[in-house]
Amino acid sequence: MKTKLAKIISLALGENYSVTEIESLIETPKHAGLGDLAFPCFTLAKKYKQPPSLIAKELAEKIHGDFIDEVRVENAYINVFFNQLQFAEEVIKNVFSQKEHYGEKPKNGQKVVLDFSSPNIAKPFSMGHLRSTVIGNALANISEKQGYNAIRINHLGDWGTQFGKLIVAYKLWGNKEAIEQNPIEELLKIYVKFHEEAEHNADLNEQARQAFKDLEGGNIEAASLWEWFLGASLKEFEQIYKVLGVSFDSFNGEAFYNDKMQSVVGELTAKGLLEESEGAMVVKLDNMTPCLITKKDGATLYATRDLAAAIYRHKEYSPAKLFYIVGNEQSLHFKQLFAVLKKMGYEFAEHCEHIPFGMMLKDGKKMSTRKGKVVLLADVLTETIEAAKKNIEEKNPNLEKKDEVANDVGIGAVIFNDLKNDRMNDIEFSIEKMVNFEGETGPYLQYTNARIHTLLTKGNFALQEDTLNNLDEEAWGTIKFMESFPIVIEAAFTLASPAIIAKYSLSLARSFNKYYANTKFLTNDPLQTERLKIAYAVSIILEESLRLLGIKAPKEM
């Protein structure tokens, strides 16, 4: 809408101003009574050294076009009213001809690599990993909608000194059967015990260091234990991904880079970037803590593996962008990583981006895996699904496929609760609030959409023509929201912010529900079809918004 008007104004000004320049000046008036868009003439007044009201008056006369109904001058402002029916018809035509592809950009042949979720094996899947999973998955969907090819990578935390500790702990206290039954919980138990014991038995740490060296050196016993830990953990993680409906193109975790580390260290040496510091090898950086590359005993670190991973991904995929969706407590790590890549002369460092996020809180406190006391994600999800089921029992006890719907609603609630907030904010995890059908929730959107489908069925709606012959005054706001869907997706991609789509879909649903509350839809006359066309278009966009966020949209609720 803004672009259309900007084109007309730019033309009227003899193209002295580009469409983008003009577009950035156009405002949306606070009240609908002031028009659909307003153009303030202060900037032009300065340039042409004339009073803004005079400019407004002269320019207004040159503003006309198919979609414009009326142009009013109010002091320095030109207020423009669109021809609502004509405008709405074009929007509806676009939505119906493209359906779920509305707002999509053509394939651009470029790749975006997204490193997300990335839990640590033999440890519980934390709330932080849940956030990364949900945000990363949405960003991958949004990237695809923008024409990119998304590569979803799960950079498993499956390597590091902690596996030396785990191997020692297993040999001392491990119970094979118990671990097979309940891998992550049991492995965590012996890992915690290791730390308690190590406090008064320093020798344990020495043993662990040796065990990890053995593992890195390819010792068969250590390797087979590690493989067992990995397999058992992955089985548990995969259940979570299945529930959340998330998939990956690669599970190449830290261990995958084990045999690629020497060449990175070699390259750093050859480029003269490696320096010794208290026996360890580091890369010094400007205004930043040095990046630790190898320890005294030659063992590699998290950062070394990330360096190898970044270079590998660059060579393997040549992506246009490399996103790392990881909590903001790792900001320094990524700054160091990108700085080292830059020092190595890799220009792709410019295309690497850390996409940080805040914490998940319960009753104002961090939900975390403190010593032995674990909030198990699987339990939390089960609880949410139960709460959703209770709501459904109350609202619609005769619903078929109740369990399936409760699943979609419970999980949708968790995902939306996360994504509706700007990702840097900490978010509160309140099951009651997030499954509420009337709040700013996923279930509210799902419910709005399901209600539209019921309405379409009741009204025997079948799409026959994509014209629009009537537009109720109350539907105008909804039409304007629908028109802006493509630029909303673009903004969500540019700012790496699924929240933009989440907030947008709330606004769209609210505006439609307001229209619906004030209008009788099922009137058995030609107007019924016109209204149902709008309802149907809204459902197409709501479903697509939910899909982008990673949320299912049941047709009945």
Interface positions with ligand ARG (CB under 6 A): 115, 118, 120, 155, 157, 306, 309, 324, 326
CA distances from 86 to 23, 89, 468 (A): 22, 5, 8
Tell me the closest approach of the beta carbon of residue 283 to ligand ARG, in angstroms. Answer: 17
Three-state DSSP class for residue 73: strand
Tell me the closest approach of the beta carbon of residue 323 to ligand ARG, in angstroms. Answer: 10
Residue with tokens 């998330």: 246
CA distances from 6 to 33, 152, 484 (A): 21, 38, 15
Residue with tokens 């097979």: 180
Tell me the closest approach of the beta carbon of residue 302 to ligand ARG, in angstroms. Answer: 7
- Token readout for 278 is 């208290």
C-beta of 291 vs 326, nearer to ligand ARG: 326
C-beta of 59 vs 261, nearer to ligand ARG: 261
- Under a CB-based contact definition with an 8 Å cutoff, are residues 128 and 360 in contact? yes
Cα 485 from Cα 145, distance rounded (Å): 12
C-beta of 289 vs 518, nearer to ligand ARG: 289
Point out which residues pair with 291 in neighbouring strands.
Answer: 283
Tell me the closest approach of the beta carbon of residue 321 to ligand ARG, in angstroms. Answer: 15
Cα 544 from Cα 103, distance rounded (Å): 10
Tell me the closest approach of the beta carbon of residue 256 to ligand ARG, in angstroms. Answer: 11
Give me the DSSP letters along 155-194: --B--SHHHHHHHHHHHHH--HHHHHHSHHHHHHHHHHHH
Counting Cα atoms < 13 Å in the Cβ hemisphere of 240 gives 24
C-beta of 131 vs 145, nearer to ligand ARG: 131
Tell me the closest approach of the beta carbon of residue 345 to ligand ARG, in angstroms. Answer: 21
C-beta of 306 vs 544, nearer to ligand ARG: 306
Tell me the closest approach of the beta carbon of residue 133 to ligand ARG, in angstroms. Answer: 11
Tell me the closest approach of the beta carbon of residue 305 to ligand ARG, in angstroms. Answer: 8
C-beta of 155 vs 423, nearer to ligand ARG: 155
Cα 402 from Cα 500, distance rounded (Å): 31
Tell me the closest approach of the beta carbon of residue 144 to ligand ARG, in angstroms. Answer: 21
- Token readout for 29 is 């008036």
Cα 23 from Cα 16, distance rounded (Å): 14
Using the Cα atoms of residue 171, residue 174, residue 179 and residue 184 in order, give the sign of their dihedral.
negative
Tell me the closest approach of the beta carbon of residue 486 to ligand ARG, in angstroms. Answer: 31
Residue nearest to ligand ARG (CB): 157
C-beta of 39 vs 191, nearer to ligand ARG: 191
C-beta of 371 vs 520, nearer to ligand ARG: 371
Tell me the closest approach of the beta carbon of residue 366 to ligand ARG, in angstroms. Answer: 15
C-beta of 122 vs 501, nearer to ligand ARG: 122
Tell me how crowded residue 272 is: count the other CB atoms within 10 A of its CB: 8
C-beta of 51 vs 231, nearer to ligand ARG: 231
C-beta of 306 vs 530, nearer to ligand ARG: 306
Three-state DSSP class for residue 373: strand
67: CB partners within 8 A, 6+ apart: 4, 82, 83, 86, 87, 90
C-beta of 257 vs 447, nearer to ligand ARG: 257
Tell me the closest approach of the beta carbon of residue 70 to ligand ARG, in angstroms. Answer: 55
405: CB partners within 8 A, 6+ apart: 392, 399, 554, 556, 557
- Under a CB-based contact definition with an 8 Å cutoff, are residues 182 and 374 in contact? no
Report how far Cα 304 is from the mean position of its chain's Cα atoms.
27
Residue 364 backbone zone (phi > 0: left; psi -120 to 50: alpha; other: beta):
left
The 3 state secondary structure assigned to 315-367 is: HHHCCCEEEEECCHHHHHHHHHHHHHHHHCCCHHHHHEEEECCCCEEECCEEC
C-beta of 19 vs 340, nearer to ligand ARG: 340
Tell me the closest approach of the beta carbon of residue 237 to ligand ARG, in angstroms. Answer: 12
